[in-house]
Structure formats: structure tokens, C-alpha cells
């Protein structure tokens, strides 16, 4: 996808969003190569070690950034532009960004895991630094001045002592760098940054506010038809028969497409396709392969364990537990969640002269290209996958599946086809965040010191890779077979220095619904369990939850973060004199039926990067069991900050979205299919229910930039559960925290 | 049977030829007229992404049959304001950077513009109530409320 600044909007309009124009090479003699540009050869390098894969500069000095990382609605396009503008010393408005096009952008990996700046941006920065050095060396020759004497402003190079100047456009305009990315190329001193670290307004926002932005859902190609899918009545059902007469009256119907259990319709108009998909009579076999939802956790516990991943092992936790003066144990679980993007997944596919082009909102076009090629048994080289921004994407949702649907329909009708899923397709068939179960045990010595921590997680096996495509599986075409739930075992190991620790993940042979990653996958669930149980331990010894964490935290950056959180949130000790077997007695802060409480939580993301601490303020209605999350205070240290407003936007979003997940969300299913198919049966947080969020960012300009897209989501569930305990003295160990669960917990104490 | 239907959109009278007069207004706006503002979110009137104004009232175009529009004047996000001549609500949304993916924002702006037309300087609580039926998944709510409050103070 090509992004331009508002000032370049006319260019956008005139070219559509996909065609990048390149100026012809100039004739001036330079050391930059004159071949290899698209204008010359029709192909462009996308090699990760090649500067030309990332950057091009035209004769007017306009810079094009080619990014394998795509903007999923997070503002990363603007942030990456800031990095390039800073490192090259060119104006922000002079940079356009091409994202996620397998023919044009380097394969920088999936856009996931809060890595777009941390990995993608750092690669781009190094490419820009390499380019800058080469440009300065060329300028030195042309200006007859040593490189050290040169300075760059707004893409123009001149000597510090005055004299002649030359622009980037004159130096390289339209030619290639033909340079390997130089890991040693000097980077600018962060102390001199003018653009990185600034809250630069996002350049996609004006277009989005005025209906001028072209989302995937708005994209059209000439001769395009409209498709809709008709999914099986049960997940594993076989298609027995299709009555094509049932749709013969639908105006503009082009074809009913059937291949194995893949069923879809194609029509001239979108409404025609929708009507045909609703009217089409199909007969499916019965299938009842899902477990009973009311016995989900028994099912998870009874599922075959294929292997154990030991994620940390210090001392002997099992032995220490036996010797403990006091033992605590608890079981936590976290429901199945769906991505629930506001706009259903959408894609356009076109097959021309044996070559497939597919436009989608995939977070991983380079991987999707391989999957589509495999599905159609064609060479990767004959497939081009192009990213266009769609509705927000919080992990592997339905985008890739809609792409495969469009491809099969386009192939069947030999015309370009646009597919948009209906709401029930999205809620019913996007892959789900799998159910998560964790058993925790801890041992205390006679003085209240934690001497043992032992956790056992139950999650599906598999890690990262490509989630199988629904269409490929239904149609009986080549597809992946294993589960790909994401790296769910991250943050099972804990940041606290207990003498005996063992954390184990039991990897299950199956899980009820096709799994994938949803924002902070595993990190959220595991942090919920660990930080809630940590709070249980603090309560068991009558300690303040903050002070208790600091006792066991050796990481100076983590300690600083928690201390700043205490100050920022005006944390007051929850410590209680004396202790009872049921934990601390609760201070009375009730007003009528409403009890208020505060909960604190902490994460070092993946124990390797971004630090986040949060304090939640909640109200619990003792009568109804309803929880209102009133406020979140968040302190985050993600190293160098590229765009502080973008980071704050992500934190606000993480908190709000996760409060929704924690209070309300649970995918429901019967023995055959998902039954939470719209916003009535899968409600999310509404405006009157949102918390206020206050944020303090710890900026460390001279440190590496770390991810900000997910980490602050992971702290939300435990902050709320700990606050509910503070309010009413009960532990919520099962997400979502419904009123019924709150009431049940209060009645059982 | 193709049927011709007159429609007044963003200040212009137009005539559409459609197969089904009961087709929701949303598809006429998006597919027949090529507008991008109103968006398909649920097709059930539950999320608000498709919101347009009919004679100044915010309605869900995904569940409004074309045949029910009659002579009412339709205004979409494009008709509310443009980059060069922003509506105060659009301007406030840009100033507050009130979007992540922005897919729901059409509904937020259209709902807010209709609400502010008859509610000057509303409180946060009233703004939240006015938008209670508009859903956002990215969690941009706080910025949206701030933007509407800003627009409301200036309107």
C-alpha cells in the first residue's frame, strides 16, 4: 500500500493507491548504478541486505520508503517515516511509504509482536544511515569537500564552511544505491534528533476523517465482480448438495462456486452476492465435534499433552513446596476470544495470464503469497500479494482467509472478484485466541518469604508460522495442517527472584476452535495468572502488593518503573498489620452497595523488553456483581520513543480493548459451531463503560526502541482482578469477569 | 426488474438504477455512487460504521432500505466536510488524533455531528451516552470523547 502525506493527495488520487511512479535515471555521472530500477527492468530488489529494497530517491529528492511492516491502524507508517526523515535529514512531507507489497517491499516478517519499530524500524534506520553515508561520500566528491565537513538540511548537502550545495535528488535521483545494508553505518546521535521523539500527527488521519482514505474495503479493480462465501452449517460438516435453483432469480448472479466443502457465490453487484449467499439452499452433514462449552475446562484438562515446555527452572520448586511452612494454590483460566474487527475481512483477487494478484489487509503478505501459491500449486513467483489497510487488525484474524476465498472465486469465474465477509463469517470463522488454563502453587517459609513458585500452563501446541487457510482446507487444496496459535508460552517465566521456580507449559494436542494469536497472545493470559497469584501471595503475608514485588525484583529498570508508578498513581500502601489465614482484612471504602478498590500489576514483556506497570481503580456493585473499571494509571518504558502520541494512542487502546475482553468477552459455541456471531451475542465495551486512562512515558532516547503495540494490554486483566480483591475481598480467576462470577465468588466466601 | 430511484446525496440530486429497491442505502452509496465514508460493519444496525444523515438525523444505512429514503436528503462523511473545508467535528477529530484504524470513525463523526447540532457544550457523560450504540474495537474512545467535547465547545 502506498501512503502519502496530505500534500501529496493529488498524486494519490491520480495514481490510485498502488502504482508507484519512478523517474528515469538522469544522465549525470555518479557512482550510483543506473540499472535495476523498476523503470528500467520492471523488477525491484526486495532483498533484506540491500538498501534499494528499503529506499529510493527520485530526481526531485522525493523519498520512497518500502516497508515490509504494515500499518494496521497503529500509526506505524507515520513513525517509520519519522525514522527515515530523521536519519536522512529530509522533510517528512517528502517521503511516501509503500507497505507490504511482495513485489516491492522487503520481507521484514509478519507485522506482529510489537516489532514494527523494534525490528522493522531499526532495519529501516540502518538502511537510511547507509544511504546517507553513501550520499555524503558522493557529495564530497562533487563538492570537493571532506565528508566530515558536510551537513544535510532538508535533503540538501553543503559544506559547513559555506560554498556550493547539492541536493539528494541531484546526487542520486532515480538511480539505485546498489549497496549492501551496512550495519556499521554511523547513526545520528539521538541527542540531535528533531523528528524522532516528536508527536508528529499521523498522515493517514485527515483522509480517514473525510472519507478520502481508501481502505481495502473500498478498493476496486476494473471488471471486478462481488463474491460472498457460504460457510458450512457445522465446522466439520460435509457439503451434501446445493440447490442452484434457489438462487436463479437473483439478478446479476454469475456463478455458484463449489469445490469440495468450499461454497460461494459470485454476482455482478455486492447486494446481488449478499442476497444469493442468503438464499442459497445447501445441505450439510451433521457434525458435532466440539466439546460442551459448559465443560470446557474439564475438556482442556483432559486433552492429551503432546509435550512439555519448561520455560524456567531454578532450584527445586517441587521439593521446596514440600518444605514450605505455608502453601498456596490456585487455578486460573481465560476464555476463548475473537479478534472482532469492526470491518469484516475483505480481499480482491485477480488471475491474469497465469499470474495471481491479491490485495488484502494481511499482516504478512510475503507469507500469504506462499500460502496462496501452495493452495493453487503455482510458483511463488507467479503470485503478488499487496497490502491495503483495512479495519484494525489485532493479530491473525480473517484477512488471509478472505484472500483465499477471493482467489478461489476469481479462479472459478475467470474475473477479478472482491470478497467481503459478512459479520457472522467474521465472528464465526476468524481464528480464535485459544482457551488458557493455568495451575499455580507457591510456598512460603515461616517468615513469609516466598521460597517456591510452580506453575503449569495448558495451551495448544504449536508456535508461530502460518495459520491454515479456511478455503484451502474446505476445498481440499494443499494447506498447513498443524496448529499455529502464536508463541503462547511467553511470560510464563516470572520476573521475580524466588529461590525455587519451575514454570511448565503442557502443550495440548488439540483445542476446540482454530487457534491464532490475538494481541499480547499468551503474554496477556500468563501475566493475568502470574500477577494475580503474586497479589494472592502478598495478601497472604499482609504485604503491600507494590512493596512485595520490589522485595523480589532485581532489575533496576523494573524497580524504577514501579517506583514511578507508585508516585504517578499516588499509590498508598495496602499493607496490613498482622496477617490472617484468609489474607488481609479489607479497609472499608464502601458507599452503599458500591465497593471501590485498587489493583497493581507489572510486566517486563517477554522478560526481555518493554516494561509496563499499571494501577486500576474499580467499583464493584455488591448487589449486582457488576464491575466498573473507572481509571487506569499506566507507566511504560519502551526505550526510545519515536512518536509519543502514537505510543499513548496504543496504550489507551490496549487498556480500553482489554477492559472489554476482561469484563465481557467470551466466544460461545454449541457442539457444531460458534454461536456468538454478532455484537449482540459477543458484546464489547461501550462508551459509557470506558475507563479514564492516564499515562506516563519513560523516554530513553539513547536506548533501543522497543515495542509499544501490545505490552500494556498484558497488564490489564490482573490489575482489574487485584483491584476487585481490594474492593470486595474475592479473587476472580476466570476471564471474563462477569457479574455472575463476581456474585458467585462473593457468596462462596 | 431494474428500477430507477431518485436520491439526494451530499447536495446533489441523482438517479440510481437498481435491481432491488429494498437494497440497503449503504450499498447504493458505496457501490453505485463510489462513496467511502459510510462503511459496512455488521449489516445489522449494531455497530454504527455505516451511519449517514437523513435530513440531519443519524441513521444506520445498512438497515435503511433505499425505498424508504424518499425525498430525504442524504449526507455522508464526504458531504459533511472536506479536507479544505472541514466540519468542526472532523477538525476536532484531526486535532485530537482520534483514530487508530479509523474504520468506525465515520459513524463516530456522523453521530456526533447530529448530536452536537442540538446539544451545545455537552458533558463527557452525555457524549458517552450519545455514542453508546457506536462501537470501536481499537479502543479509541477516549480520544473520540475529547474530540467531540472540543467540537462541542467550539460549535
Q: List the one residue out of A232, A331, A248 whose CA is nearest residue A285.
A: A232
Write the Ramachandran bin of A583: left for phi over 0, alpha for psi from -120 to 50, otherwise beta: left
Residue A211 distance to chain B (closest CA, Å): 4
Residue A19's pLDDT band (cuts 50, 70, 90):
very low
Q: Does B135 contact A684 at a Cβ distance shorter than 8 Å?
A: yes
Residue B30 grid coordinates: 458505496
Is it true that the peptide bond before A736 is cis, omega within 30 degrees of 0?
A: yes
Percentage, residues of chain A above pLDDT 70: 93
Q: Average pLDDT, stretch A115-141?
A: 96
Q: What is the pLDDT of residues A343-385, one digit of tens each?
A: 999 999 999 999 999 999 999 999 999 999 999 999 999 999 9
Helix/strand/coil (H/E/C) assignment for every residue in A584-643: CCCCCCCECCEEEEEEEEEEEHHHCCCEEEEEEEEEEECCCCCEEEEEEEEEEECECCCC
Residue A658 distance to chain B (closest CA, Å): 9
Q: What is the DSSP letter of A210?
A: H
**Integer Cα distance of A386 and A365 in angstroms:** 6
pLDDT above 60: residue A240? yes
Q: Are B131 and B110 in contact (CB under 8 A)?
A: no
* Selected residue with higher pLDDT from B106 and A587: B106
pLDDT above 50: residue B125? yes
B129 vs A contacts (CB less than 8 Å): 687-688
Cα dist from A666 to A236, A427, A435, whole Å? 22, 11, 10
Residue A30's pLDDT band (cuts 50, 70, 90):
low
Q: Are A181 and A51 in contact (CB under 8 A)?
A: yes
Residue B139 grid coordinates: 479502543
pLDDT at A56: 97
pLDDT above 50: residue A8? no
Q: Does A423 touch chain B (CB under 8 A)?
A: yes
**Integer Cα distance of A682 and A423 in angstroms:** 11
Q: What is the pLDDT of residues A296-336, one digit of tens each?
A: 999 999 999 999 999 999 999 999 999 999 999 999 999 99
Q: List the one residue out of A126, A135, A129 whose CA is nearest residue A49.
A: A126
Residue A3's pLDDT band (cuts 50, 70, 90):
low
pLDDT above 90: residue A680? yes
Residue A42's pLDDT band (cuts 50, 70, 90):
low
Residue A314 grid coordinates: 531454578
User: Half-sphere exposure (CA, 13 Å, Cβ side) for A360?
Assistant: 37
- Cβ neighbour number for residue A699 with a 10 Å cutoff: 15
**Integer Cα distance of A219 and A389 in angstroms:** 10
Q: List the one residue out of A687, A531, A739 whose CA is nearest residue A615.
A: A531
* Residues 100-129 of chain B whose Cβ lies under 8 A from any Cβ of chain A: 100-106, 109, 125, 127-129
pLDDT at A745: 96
Residue A242 grid coordinates: 446445493
pLDDT above 70: residue A149? yes
pLDDT above 50: residue A662? yes
Residues in chain A: 749
Residue A463's pLDDT band (cuts 50, 70, 90):
confident
Q: Which residue has the cell 445441505?
A: A283
Residues in chain B: 155
pLDDT above 90: residue A29? no
Contacts of A415 (CB under 8 A, 6+ apart): A223, A224, A225, A254, A266
User: Lowest-confidence range among A172-181, A198-207, A286-295, B49-58?
Assistant: A172-181
Q: If 0-12 CB within 10 Å is exposed, 13-18 middle and 19+ buried, where does residue A648 land?
A: buried
pLDDT above 60: residue A6? no
Partnered with residue A243 across adjacent β-strands are A281
**Integer Cα distance of A603 and A636 in angstroms:** 10
Q: Which of A3, A208, A632, A644 to mutate to test the interface with B (most CBs of B within 10 A)?
A: A208
Partnered with residue A265 across adjacent β-strands are A228, A256
Q: Does A279 touch chain B (CB under 8 A)?
A: no
Residue B33 grid coordinates: 455512487
pLDDT at A15: 32
Q: List the one residue out of A288, A491, A459, A488 whose CA is nearest residue A396.
A: A488
Cα dist from A693 to A260, A632, A653, A668, B97, whole Å? 50, 5, 10, 30, 16
Decide the pairing of beta strands A692-697 and A627-637: parallel
**Integer Cα distance of A525 and A530 in angstroms:** 9
Give me the residue from B40, B101, B131 closest to A687, CB to CB.
B131
Torsion of Cα atoms, B94 then B95 then B98 then B104, to 10°: -30
Residue A247's pLDDT band (cuts 50, 70, 90):
very high
Cα dist from A432 to A52, A336, A395, A397, whole Å? 38, 6, 10, 8
Q: Does A465 touch chain B (CB under 8 A)?
A: no
Helix (H) or strand (E) holding B89: helix B88-95
- Cβ neighbour number for residue B55 with a 10 Å cutoff: 13
Contacts of A311 (CB under 8 A, 6+ apart): A489, A492, A493, A503, A504, A505
Residue B34 distance to chain A (closest CA, Å): 8
Q: If you measure CA to CA, which chain A residue comes closest to B79?
A: A210
Q: Are A703 and A640 in contact (CB under 8 A)?
A: yes
Q: List the one residue out of A9, A17, A4, A207 whose CA is nearest residue B81.
A: A207
pLDDT at A9: 39
Q: If you measure CA to CA, which chain A residue comes closest to B43?
A: A423
B76 vs A contacts (CB less than 8 Å): 211
Residue A343 distance to chain B (closest CA, Å): 5
Mean pLDDT score of chain A: 93
pLDDT above 50: residue A158? yes
Q: Are B148 and B116 in contact (CB under 8 A)?
A: yes
* Residues 322-351 of chain A whose Cβ lies under 8 A from any Cβ of chain B: 340-344
Q: Average pLDDT, stretch A172-182?
A: 94
Residue A381 distance to chain B (closest CA, Å): 31
Is the dihedral angle over the CA atoms B13, B18, B22, B27 positive or is it negative?
A: negative
Q: What are phi and psi of A592, to 5 degrees?
A: 65, -130
Q: Does B47 contact A679 at a Cβ distance shorter than 8 Å?
A: yes
Mean pLDDT score of chain B: 97
Largest CA distance in chain B: 50
Q: What is the pLDDT of residues A464-477, one digit of tens each?
A: 899 999 999 999 99
> What's the first-to-final CA gap in chain B, in angstroms?
46
pLDDT at B154: 81
Q: What is the pLDDT of residues A97-118, one digit of tens each?
A: 999 999 999 999 999 998 999 9
**Integer Cα distance of A303 and A510 in angstroms:** 7
SS3 A78: helix
pLDDT at A582: 43
Q: What is the spatial order of strands in the sheet that A55-57 belongs to?
A: A2-3, A95-99, A63-67, A55-57
In DSSP notation, A25-67 reads: PP-S--SSBSS-SHHHHS-----TTBHHHHEEE-TT--EEEEE
SS3 A674: strand
**Integer Cα distance of A206 and B37 in angstroms:** 12
Q: Which residues of A296-323 are buried (b: 16+ CB within 10 A; e: fewer)?
A: beebbeebeeeeebebeebebbeebbee
pLDDT above 60: residue A252? yes
Residue A37 distance to chain B (closest CA, Å): 33
pLDDT above 90: residue A586? no
User: Half-sphere exposure (CA, 13 Å, Cβ side) for A636?
Assistant: 33
Q: Average pLDDT, stretch A436-452?
A: 98
Q: Does B109 contact A217 at a Cβ distance shorter than 8 Å?
A: no
pLDDT at A589: 59
Q: List the one residue out of A306, A706, A669 whose CA is nearest residue A506.
A: A306
Percentage, residues of chain A above pLDDT 90: 90
pLDDT at A31: 67
Residue A587 grid coordinates: 479497609
Is the dihedral angle over the CA atoms A473, A479, A483, A485 positive or is it negative?
A: negative
Residue B1's pLDDT band (cuts 50, 70, 90):
confident
Q: Average pLDDT, stretch A118-147?
A: 96
Strands, E assignment, A126-220: 150-153, 156-159, 165-167
B144 vs A contacts (CB less than 8 Å): 687
Is the dihedral angle over the CA atoms A372, A376, A377, A383 positive or is it negative?
A: negative
pLDDT above 70: residue A23? no
Q: List the one residue out of B106, B109, B91, B80 whose CA is nearest residue B154.
A: B91
Q: Does A644 touch chain B (CB under 8 A)?
A: no
pLDDT above 70: residue A22? no
Round the CA-based radius of gyration of chain A to a whole number and report it. 28
**Integer Cα distance of A517 and A488 in angstroms:** 8
**CA angle, corner A537, sides to A533 and A538, nearest 5?**
115
pLDDT above 50: residue A26? no
A218 vs B contacts (CB less than 8 Å): 30, 36
Q: Are A117 and A641 in contact (CB under 8 A)?
A: no
Q: What is the DSSP letter of A180?
A: B
pLDDT at A364: 96
Amino acid at each position: 500500500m502506498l501512503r502519502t502525506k496530505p500534500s501529496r493527495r493529488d498524486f494519490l488520487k491520480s495514481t490510485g493507491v498502488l502504482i508507484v511512479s519512478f523517474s528515469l535515471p538522469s544522465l549525470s555521472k555518479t557512482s550510483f548504478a543506473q540499472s535495476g530500477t523498476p523503470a528500467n527492468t520492471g523488477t525491484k530488489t526486495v532483498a533484506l541486505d540491500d538498501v534499494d529494497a528499503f529506499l529510493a530517491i527520485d530526481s526531485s529528492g522525493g523519498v520512497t520508503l518500502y516497508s515490509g511492516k504494515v500499518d494496521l491502524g497503529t500509526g506505524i507508517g507515520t513513525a517509520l517515516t519519522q525514522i527515515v526523515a530523521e536519519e536522512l535529514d529530509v522533510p517528512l512531507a517528502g517521503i511516501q511509504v509503500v507497505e507490504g507489497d511482495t513485489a516491492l517491499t522487503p520481507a521484514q516478517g509478519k507485522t506482529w509482536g510489537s516489532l514494527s519499530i523494534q525490528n522493522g524500524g531499526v532495519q529501516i534506520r540502518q538502511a537510511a544511515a547507509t544511504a546517507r553515508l553513501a550520499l555524503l561520500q558522493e557529495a564530497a566528491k562533487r563538492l570537493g569537500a571532506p565528508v566530515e565537513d558536510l551537513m544535510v538540511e532538508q535533503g540538501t548537502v553543503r559544506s559547513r564552511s559555506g560554498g556550493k550545495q547539492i541536493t539528494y535528488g541531484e546526487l542520486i535521483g532515480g538511480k539505485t544505491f546498489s549497496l549492501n545494508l551496512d550495519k556499521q553505518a554511523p547513526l545520528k546521535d539521538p541527542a540531535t534528533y528533531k523528528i524522532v521523539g516528536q508527536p508528529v500527527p499521523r498522515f493517514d488521519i485527515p483522509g480517514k476523517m473525510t472519507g478520502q482514505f481508501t481502505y481495502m474495503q473500498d478498493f476496486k479493480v476494473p471488471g471486478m465482480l462481488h463474491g460472498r462465501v457460504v460457510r458450512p452449517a457445522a465446522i466439520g460438516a460435509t457439503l451434501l448438495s446445493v440447490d442452484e435453483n434457489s438462487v436463479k432469480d437473483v439478478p446479476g448472479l454469475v456463478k455458484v462456486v463449489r469445490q469440495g466443502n468450499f461454497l460461494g457465490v459470485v454476482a455482478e453487484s455486492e447486494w446481488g452476492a449478499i442476497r444469493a449467499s442468503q438464499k442459497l439452499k445447501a445441505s450439510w452433514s451433521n457434525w458435532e465435534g466440539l466439546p460442551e462449552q459448559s465443560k470446557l475446562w474439564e475438556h482442556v484438562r483432559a486433552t492429551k499433552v503432546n509435550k512439555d515446555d519448561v520455560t524456567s527452572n531454578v532450584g527445586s520448586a517441587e521439593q521446596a513446596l514440600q518444605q514450605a511452612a505455608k502453601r498456596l494454590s490456585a487455578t486460573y483460566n481465560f476464555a476463548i476470544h475473537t479478534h472482532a474487527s469492526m470491518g469484516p475481512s475483505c480481499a480482491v483477487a485477480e488471475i491474469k495470464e497465469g499470474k495471481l494478484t491479491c490485495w488484502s489487509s494481511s499482516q504478512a503478505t510475503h507469507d500469504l503469497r506462499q500460502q496462496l501459491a501452495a493452495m493453487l500449486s503455482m510458483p511463488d513467483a507467479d503470485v503478488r500479494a499487496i497490502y491495503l489497510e483495512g479495519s484494525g487488525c489485532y493479530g491473525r484474524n480473517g484477512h488471509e482467509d478472505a484472500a483465499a476465498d477471493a482467489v478461489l472465486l476469481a479462479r472459478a469465474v475467470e474475473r477479478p472478484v472482491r470478497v467481503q465477509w459478512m459479520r457472522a463469517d467474521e465472528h464465526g470463522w476468524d481464528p480464535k485466541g485459544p482457551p488458557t488454563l493455568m495451575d499455580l502453587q507457591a510456598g512460603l517459609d515461616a517468615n513469609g518469604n516466598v521460597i517456591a513458585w510452580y506453575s503449569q500452563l495448558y495451551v495448544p501446541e504449536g508456535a508461530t508460522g502460518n495459520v491454515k487457510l479456511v478455503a484451502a482446507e474446505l476445498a481440499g487444496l494443499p494447506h498447513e495442517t498443524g496448529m499455529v496459535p502464536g508463541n503462547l508460552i511467553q511470560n510464563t517465566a516470572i520476573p521475580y527472584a524466588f529461590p525455587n521456580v519451575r514454570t511448565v507449559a503442557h502443550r495440548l494436542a488439540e483445542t476446540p476452535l482454530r487457534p491464532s494469536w490475538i494481541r499480547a497472545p499468551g503474554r496477556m493470559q500468563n501475566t493475568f495468572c502470574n500477577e494475580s497469584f503474586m497479589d494472592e501471595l502478598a495478601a497472604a503475608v499482609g504485604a503491600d502488593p507494590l512493596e512485595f514485588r520490589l522485595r523480589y525484583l532485581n532489575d533496576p529498570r523494573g524497580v524504577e518503573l514501579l517506583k514511578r508508578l507508585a508516585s504517578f498513581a499516588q499509590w498508598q500502601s495496602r499493607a496490613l498489620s498482622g496477617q490472617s489465614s484468609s489474607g488481609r482484612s479489607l479497609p472499608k471504602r464502601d458507599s452503599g452497595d458500591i465497593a471501590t478498590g485498587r489493583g497493581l500489576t507489572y510486566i517486563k514483556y517477554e522478560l526481555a523488553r518493554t516494561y509496563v506497570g499499571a494501577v486500576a481503580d474499580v467499583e464493584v456493585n455488591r448487589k449486582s456483581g457488576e464491575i466498573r473499571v473507572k481509571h487506569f494509571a499506566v507507566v511504560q518504558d519502551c526505550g526510545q520513543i519515536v512518536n509519543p502520541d502514537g505510543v499513548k494512542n496504543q496504550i489507551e487502546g490496549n487498556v480500553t480493548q482489554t477492559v472489554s475482553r476482561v469484563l465481557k468477552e467470551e466466544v460461545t459455541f454449541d457442539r457444531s459451531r460458534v454461536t456468538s456471531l454478532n455484537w449482540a451475542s459477543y458484546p464489547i465495551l461501550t462508551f459509557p463503560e470506558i475507563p479514564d486512562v492516564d499515562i506516563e512515558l519513560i523516554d530513553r532516547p539513547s536506548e533501543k526502541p522497543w515495542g509499544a503495540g501490545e505490552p500494556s494490554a498484558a497488564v490489564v486483566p490482573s490489575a482489574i482482578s487485584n483491584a476487585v480483591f481490594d474492593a470486595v475481598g474475592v479473587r476472580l480467576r476466570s476471564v471474563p469477569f462477569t457479574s455472575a462470577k463476581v456474585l458467585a465468588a462473593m457468596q462462596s466466601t | 426488474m431494474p428500477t430507477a430511484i431518485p436520491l439526494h446525496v451530499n447536495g446533489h440530486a441523482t438517479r440510481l438504477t437498481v435491481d432491488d429497491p429494498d437494497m440497503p442505502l449503504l450499498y447504493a452509496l458505496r457501490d453505485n455512487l463510489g462513496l467511502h465514508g459510510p462503511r459496512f460493519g455488521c449489516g445489522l444496525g449494531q455497530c454504527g460504521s455505516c451511519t449517514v444523515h437523513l435530513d440531519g438525523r443519524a441513521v444506520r444505512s445498512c438497515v435503511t432500505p433505499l425505498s424508504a429514503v424518499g425525498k430525504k436528503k442524504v449526507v455522508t462523511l464526504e458531504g459533511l466536510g472536506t479536507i479544505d473545508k472541514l466540519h468542526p467535528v472532523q477538525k476536532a477529530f484531526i486535532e485530537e488524533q482520534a483514530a487508530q484504524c479509523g474504520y468506525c470513525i465515520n459513524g463516530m463523526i456522523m453521530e456526533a455531528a447530529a448530536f452536537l447540532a442540538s446539544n451545545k457544550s455537552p458533558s463527557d457523560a452525555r457524549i458517552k451516552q450519545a455514542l453508546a450504540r457506536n462501537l470501536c474495537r481499537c479502543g479509541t474512545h477516549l480520544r473520540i470523547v475529547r474530540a467531540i467535547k472540543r467540537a462541542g465547545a467550539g460549535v
